[in-house]
Amino acid sequence: MSDPQAFIKIAREHNVPVLVDPKGKDFSRYKGATCLTPNKKEFELAVGPCKDEHELATKAQQLIQDCELDALLITLGARGMTLVTKDNHSIHIPARAREVYDVTGAGDT
């Protein structure tokens, strides 16, 4: 199914959560999804640069309203991730550094 809107509509009609790793800068094509999971670069491509965590949360809340999402999970690499919900809750989850011994299966091909 190449039309994200059709897929989202069918899934929502059957109470199936829709989590999307968005591509491109037009996130409106995922309107109605349960949660988008962009990295910070993808997020800023869609909403513009964020100078701090407060601005990131503010722009995330606006995107949630505009795209009728339940939540937005922005991955921040070594800084962890920030989850923002439609009821205006925001939580930053820090990353925990790990020493990697075996990268098999880590998408390194």
Q: Which residues pair with 84 in a beta bridge?
A: 72, 90
For residue 34, the Cα-to-chain-centroid distance in whole angstroms is: 10
Report which DSSP code applies to 61.
H
- Contacts with 8 (C-beta within 8 Å, 6 or more apart), sequence order: 18, 30, 31, 32, 33
What are the residue numbers of the active site? 108
C-alpha neighbours within 13 Å on the C-beta side of residue 86: 13
